[in-house]
């Protein structure tokens, strides 16, 4: 079957494309912006990418158009598909019907940490010789691909609450029908489709309603929002993490290690290179979910000692003249704060130059602008790209005083960062997009 995928360079749709290709389908796709790492991964698999949404793509004559949620009414190719009566389906529905049916689906949901936690879970299952299929919203370093299909009964999926498509406004995760679910956390996000936190909680309630009695919910005990979700109805066993009553991480004498307890009983020790309390919570959730699939906790903790992380999650892109340049996907104030705190724990008193692109729909709408100054307070200098925003970034970051600088031109932003940077500095770039190739531009300029 020939599938033509609209919005193919999104992390979910790109992963779907890889799975379809591995399953033997002919796959092509298009997107408005084609950038790494997804474009590189797709091209390496022989998937043809087309820039833009020209109606001429109807001439490819695929058996089915698979529609990503980036596509809206008014999109010229989508309008042509509708006008001609060509067959189309949403990405989540195609995945559910063609890759997930009959699988033990292990879904990782939540506002933050989905990609890292799903990567940890897939790695634990891999190390336990269960060889799971997976679709993750990033590229785990240990696998070098974001998605794959296998003969294993297990399939790990990053379960996003964003809507499915313009013609299906349910959250994507409703389609997956998981047996094991991790609920990492729940905060307000996606202001373009959800009016308030209560609307998001309703979608999570719908997810919980579909988990079977033989399954498991692994739930962050520190989230009041998740407490409210479960209070609306729960028919599945629950194992909390981050609490003495469930899964807990306890400090050891070594900064890079922690002990894992469940119900007060020691389960194993994780010794790894990841930092931050958030990553410990992610690990606890992955260990608990893996146990539900039959992996003993001591095997899981040992496996995490070999876990290398995810690209674009505090990824060191290069060092020039004593200046380190990092890339991170953080785009929500809580994630920005957590990312800066994690880097601070690693570099101590070294200066952190935070570079942010408020690119997500929620950020562009300004729904989180009041929280930005607090989330960036841990950085020594802040550089913000203000291009394309519908709100005044200078005014929003005013509480940071002279520590913050806003530039609407990317070239001027790069100039300002290079002028400020000195040996020993840590430049932390945070965006959920390609950010105009700023990482390479910075390293190139610093190298001069």
What is the pLDDT at residue 146? 87
Question: Under 8 Å CB-to-CB from 392, ≥6 apart: which residues?
Answer: none
Going from the N-terminus, what domains does the chain have, and what CATH number goes with each?
2-93 (3.40.50.720), 102-304 (3.40.1190.10), 315-447 (3.90.190.20)
Report d(CA 163, CA 21) in Å as an integer. Answer: 24
pLDDT of 190 above 80: no
What mean pLDDT do residues 56-83 have?
97
What is the pLDDT at residue 364? 65
pLDDT of 433 above 80: no
pLDDT of 362 above 70: no
Report d(CA 444, CA 98) in Å as an integer. Answer: 44
pLDDT greater at residue 133 or residue 316? 133
What is the pLDDT at residue 246? 95
Token pair, residue 288, equals: 């608990």
What mean pLDDT do residues 20-31 have?
95
Work out the angle between the directed axes of helices 333-347 and 277-292 (0-180°, nearest 10): 110
Cα dihedral 387, 393, 395, 396, rounded to 10, equals 170
In terms of average pLDDT, the best of 113-117, 284-288, 346-350 is: 284-288
Q: What is the pTM of this model?
A: 0.81
Report d(CA 151, CA 127) in Å as an integer. Answer: 16
* pLDDT tens sequence across 148-182: 999 999 999 999 998 999 999 999 999 999 999 99
pLDDT of 37 above 70: no
CB neighbourhood size of 110 (10 A): 25
* pLDDT tens sequence across 229-260: 999 999 999 999 999 889 999 998 887 899 99
**Alpha carbon 253 to its chain's center:** 31
Q: Confidence band (pLDDT; 50, 70, 90) for 376?
A: very high
What is the pLDDT at residue 35? 67
């Amino acid at each position: 079957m020939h599938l033509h995928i609209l919005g193919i360079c999104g992390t979910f749709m790109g992963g779907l494309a890889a799975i379809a290709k591995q399953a033997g389908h002919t796959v092509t796709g298009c997107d408005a912006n084609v950038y790494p790492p997804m474009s590189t991964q797709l091209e390496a698999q022989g998937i043809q990418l087309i820039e833009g949404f020209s109606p001429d793509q109807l001439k490819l004559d695929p058996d089915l158009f698979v529609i990503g949620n980036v596509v809206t009414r008014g999109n010229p190719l989508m309008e042509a598909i509708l006008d001609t009566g060509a067959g189309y389906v949403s990405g989540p529905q195609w995945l559910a019907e063609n890759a997930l049916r009959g699988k033990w689906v292990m879904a990782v949901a939540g506002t933050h940490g989905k990609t890292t936690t799903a990567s940890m879970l897939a790695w634990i299952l891999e190390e336990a010789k269960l060889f799971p299929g997976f679709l993750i919203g990033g590229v785990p370093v240990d696998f070098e691909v974001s998605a794959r299909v296998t003969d294993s009964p297990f399939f790990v999926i990053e379960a996003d609450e964003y809507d499915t498509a313009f013609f299906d406004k349910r959250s994507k995760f409703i389609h997956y029908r998981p047996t094991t679910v991790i609920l990492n956390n729940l905060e307000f996000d996606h202001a373009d489709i959800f009016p308030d936190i209560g609307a998001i909680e309703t979608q999570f309630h719908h997810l919980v309603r579909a988990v079977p009695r033989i399954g498991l919910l692994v739930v962050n005990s520190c989230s009041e929002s998740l407490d409210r979700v479960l209070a609306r109805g729960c028919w599945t066993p629950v194992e909390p993490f981050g609490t003495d009553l469930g899964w807990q991480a306890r400090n050891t004498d070594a900064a890079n290690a922690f002990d894992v307890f469940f119900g007060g009983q020691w389960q194993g020790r994780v010794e790894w290179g990841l930092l931050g309390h958030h990553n410990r919570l992610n690990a606890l959730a992955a260990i608990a979910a893996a146990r539900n699939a039959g992996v003993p906790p001591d095997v899981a903790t040992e496996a995490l000692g070999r876990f290398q992380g995810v690209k674009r999650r505090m990824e060191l892109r290069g060092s020039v003249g004593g200046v380190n340049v990092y890339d991170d996907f953080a785009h929500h104030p809580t994630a920005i704060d957590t990312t800066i705190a994690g880097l601070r724990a690693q570099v101590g008193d070294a200066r952190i130059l935070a570079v942010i692109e408020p690119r997500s729909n929620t950020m562009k709408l300004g729904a989180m602008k009041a929280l930005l100054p607090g989330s960036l307070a841990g950085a020594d200098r802040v550089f913000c790209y203000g291009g394309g925003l519908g709100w005044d970034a200078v005014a929003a970051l005013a509480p940071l005083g002279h520590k913050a600088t806003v530039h609407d031109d990317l070239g001027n932003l790069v100039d300002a960062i290079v002028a400020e940077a000195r040996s020993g500095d840590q430049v932390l770039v945070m965006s959920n997009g390609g950010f105009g190739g700023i990482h390479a531009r910075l390293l190139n300029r610093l190298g001069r």
